Amino acid sequence: MDIRITSEGSRTTVVLAGIIDRDGADEVGQAVLAAAGRQGCELEIDLKDVTFLGSSGIARLLQVQNVVSSAGGQFRIIRLNPDLEALFKANHLDTLLSVGRSSVKADIP
């Protein structure tokens, strides 16, 4: 599991790579929840390089989304790879989690 966090103003982008299983979900939670609770933050989670997203990872993303929303912020999952896009659609996760395009003009490498 690789986690890269960048911030610019009120926007924080978290780029995840690898496997998000139970252990990966714990890593994501520890790394992201501190930034997620800031009042009015805009949090983007980039999942392009995630190779597996288990139920613990999904639960953690829902938790982070709730923390951000409770703090008056905006949460968005960006850059789903084709496998995760299929998973999200098949399980209707795209109705539970905010999925969209990055508000950053330049694409994240």
64-80 pLDDT, tens per residue? 999 888 888 899 999 99
Q: Give the burial string for 8-30 (b: 16+ CB within 10 Å, else e).
A: eeebbbbbbeeebeeebbebbbe
User: Three-state DSSP class for 92?
Assistant: coil
pLDDT band at 103 (very low <50, low <70, confident <90, very high): low
pTM recorded for the entire structure: 0.86
Name residues whose C-beta falls within 8 Å of residue 79's C-beta, 6 or more positions apart in sequence: 46, 47, 48, 102, 108
Q: Select the CATH number that applies to the domain covering 2-96 from these four: 3.30.230.10, 3.40.50.300, 3.40.50.10680, 3.30.750.24.
A: 3.30.750.24
pLDDT band at 101 (very low <50, low <70, confident <90, very high): low
Task: Please say whether the beta carbons of 30 and 17 come within 8 A.
Answer: no
Model confidence over 26-61: pLDDT tens digits? 988 888 877 676 667 899 999 999 999 999 999 999
Domain residue spans in the chain?
Answer: 2-96
